[in-house]
Structure 1
Amino acid sequence: MALRTIFFLKVCKKEKAVFKDVKDKVWVFDVEWVPDPVTGKSLYGLAEDTPDEDVIQEMWKKGGATDENPMPYLKTVLCRVVSISVVTRTVSNGETKLHLLSLPRDSKDPAQVAEAHIVETFLSAIGTRKPQVVGYNSHAADLKILIQRGLANGIQVADFCRRPNKPWEGIDYFARGSDWNVDLIEIVGGWGKSNPSLNEMVTVCGIPGKITGDGQQVAPLWLDGELDKIIAYNEFDSLTTYLLWLRLAYFGGFFTSEQYAHEQELLQELLKTESEKPERAHLRDYLAEWERLRAERS
């Protein structure tokens, strides 16, 4: 048996088939980022007055851009966080409540748009409220960029970073395999090319995927000052990740069929309520697509 195969089997034995439980507080999140012009200027010795677009083009070039792939995936440490969206599920006194929250809350406020504010606000909230966090490829990407860019911005999030002496003595967001930090791709994914993208995974599940384009639109939108559109795209991804988590929780037996249907109704009601707000009218498109897909499978 090849050494690589042996290593893979050993890794798989350590991973759980699914998370052990569903906590009373669950935060399903998604992060959007773009190449950071400030980092690009410093790393590649570009003049301070170099336009952001030119800096980003140079970063893509250094990152291996080709005619077929002009915007290659860059190391997350070279990028800046521009938006975080999270679906929160809280159970209290037998009642379940959902909320859709996004940072920055006000895309026109420079203080809220600042990367340090976005990262510190989110990680500090996790450290204070101690939810079970859920993402898709979050161990390798979303959570890592938050830590990397937190360091780059010189912030402090002591409560988030606090770790127990032993795994069973408290919450640990840094331990791989921790039930307080669930990465869905490590449950549904495989090895190498067998790893499904979020869009691929949810499409086969009848869950809305990429409705308004893909991640390669984020940097151009940011350069054009269209942060609201990035936040809308970010919210779609967090909702999609939440629905995938919900499906997996049902798959694992944490919800009965009736409870699973009720959980979906709660999200449907949230979308209806939130989409009535002018700044969240885009959620009508998500709701319509979800209802269309559900009707096809009924």
Structure 2
Amino acid sequence: MNVLVFDIETVPDIEGGRRLFGLEGLSDPDTVRAMLALRRQESGGKEFLRHHLHRVVAISVVFRHPRLEEGVKVWSLGDPDSTEKELIQHFYDGLERYTPTLVSWNGSGFDLPVLHYRALVNEVVAPRYWEEGEGDREFRFNNYLNRFHKRHTDLMDVLAGYQGNANAPLDQVATLLGLPGKMGMDGSQVLDSWLEGDISGIRDYCETDVLNTYGVYLQWLVNTGQLSPEERQEECRILSDHLAASGQPHLEAFSEAWTGAHGR
């Protein structure tokens, strides 16, 4: 397999909010409160900001590739001090180098549109991602941008039959399949953790989320006949060995919880 499962974590773009809404002089927490209040007024009560006003603070991936010594790797791009531009450029550089199948949960509805806007803001270069056949004919028939192509598989979208009213939360689907689901924090706590300077905690949380997505993906591959149950079991073993040897408590805890659920 050549697969890159990804997930992003975001916070409000405070500097952008100050420029757009004339909030100069406010502290970071007060700027966030003002942005959320303005959004509630605009949307009739919803606080969730529009995609272009999210700032990317973490991108975590599971990369399954035959050239990797362990076969699979789980990590967050860059380091805790990386700028948003560096994180996003790392992501697109990986596509440039390996052209993997992208896998996400709600990537079409959230992660990728956010990355589009933030790449534009940060002057990120990403020709392979935007390829639609002009430079590589294979991308005319299968690219990252077309919703119904397989070079990006949005599992939430696919499993819901592309019907928004059938969408399900990753945490619940993962838990139904015996995966650990949410561990440590949830998305509603990311902003407070970021304001407190806990970027490492956010990266750890993002990694467990992307592991849940990968676990669902492996089961979906069996469901669609792309993997046999025995092959899936081997993929789970490869991942479990990697997590157990990582020396990272949150990854080891994920492996133990997953193994315990299935008795692997």
* TM-score (ref. length: structure 1): 0.81
Q: Does 1:196 align with 2:168?
A: yes
What is the CA-CA distance between 1:92 and the residue it aligns to? 5.4
Distance in 2 between the 1:219 and 1:167 partners?
40
What is the CA-CA distance between 1:160 and the residue it aligns to? 2.4
Unaligned runs of 5+ in 1: 1-23
Partner of 2:205: 233
Partner of 1:46: 23
Partner of 2:220: 248
Higher gyration radius (CA): 1
Q: Does 1:29 align with 2:6?
A: yes
Q: Deviations over 1:222-270 (max 9, x none)?
A: 1111000000000001111000100100111111221111111111001
Q: Does 1:125 align with 2:98?
A: no
Q: Does the CA contact (< 8 Å) of 1:127 and 1:161 recur in 2? A: no
What is the CA-CA distance between 1:167 and the residue it aligns to? 9.6
**How many residues get paired?**
258
Match of 2:65 among 78, 84, 90: 90
Match of 2:38 among 62, 70, 74: 62
Q: Secondary structure at the match of 2:65?
A: strand
Q: Does 1:101 align with 2:78?
A: no
Q: Secondary structure at the match of 1:31?
A: strand
Q: Does 1:138 align with 2:112?
A: no
Over 3 Å counting, the alpha-carbon distance change for 1:161 and 1:283 in structure 2 is: same
Q: Does the CA contact (< 8 Å) of 2:70 and 2:242 recur in 1? A: no
What is the CA-CA distance between 1:193 and the residue it aligns to? 3.7
What is the CA-CA distance between 1:282 and the residue it aligns to? 1.8
Instruction: Give the 5 Å matches for 1:266-285.
Output: 266-274=238-246, 276=247, 280-285=248-253
Letter in 1 for 2:33: Q
Distance in 2 between the 1:76 and 1:54 partners?
20
Q: Does the CA contact (< 8 Å) of 1:128 and 1:160 recur in 2? A: no
What is the CA-CA distance between 1:57 and the residue it aligns to? 1.0
Q: Secondary structure at the match of 2:37?
A: helix
Partner of 1:147: 116
Q: Secondary structure at the match of 1:88?
A: strand
Partner of 2:153: 182
Partner of 2:189: 217
Q: Secondary structure at the match of 2:143?
A: coil
What is the CA-CA distance between 1:144 and the residue it aligns to? 1.1
Letter in 1 for 2:52: V
Distance in 2 between the 1:73 and 1:127 partners?
32
* TM-score (ref. length: structure 2): 0.90
Q: Does 1:115 align with 2:91?
A: no
Distance in 1 between the 2:237 and 2:128 partners?
34
Q: Does the CA contact (< 8 Å) of 2:9 and 2:56 recur in 1? A: yes
What is the CA-CA distance between 1:63 and the residue it aligns to? 1.7
After TM superposition, what 4+ stretches of structure 1 lie above 6 angstroms from structure 2? Answer: none
Moved more, 234-243 or 120-129: 120-129
Letter in 1 for 2:254: Y
Moved more, 84-93 or 126-135: 84-93
Distance in 2 between the 1:267 and 1:183 partners?
21
Distance in 2 between the 1:292 and 1:43 partners?
49
What is the CA-CA distance between 1:97 and the residue it aligns to? 0.7
Q: Does the CA contact (< 8 Å) of 2:2 and 2:100 recur in 1? A: yes
Over 3 Å counting, the alpha-carbon distance change for 1:153 and 1:166 in structure 2 is: closer
Q: Does the CA contact (< 8 Å) of 1:124 and 1:160 recur in 2? A: no
What is the CA-CA distance between 1:96 and the residue it aligns to? 7.5
What is the aligned-residue identity percentage? 30
- Across the aligned residues of Structure 1 and Structure 2, the Cα RMSD in angstroms comes to 2.2
Q: Does the CA contact (< 8 Å) of 1:88 and 1:99 recur in 2? A: yes
Q: Does the CA contact (< 8 Å) of 1:89 and 1:96 recur in 2? A: no
Letter in 2 for 1:101: W
Q: Does the CA contact (< 8 Å) of 1:29 and 1:87 recur in 2? A: yes
Moved more, 170-179 or 49-58: 170-179
What is the CA-CA distance between 1:31 and the residue it aligns to? 0.7
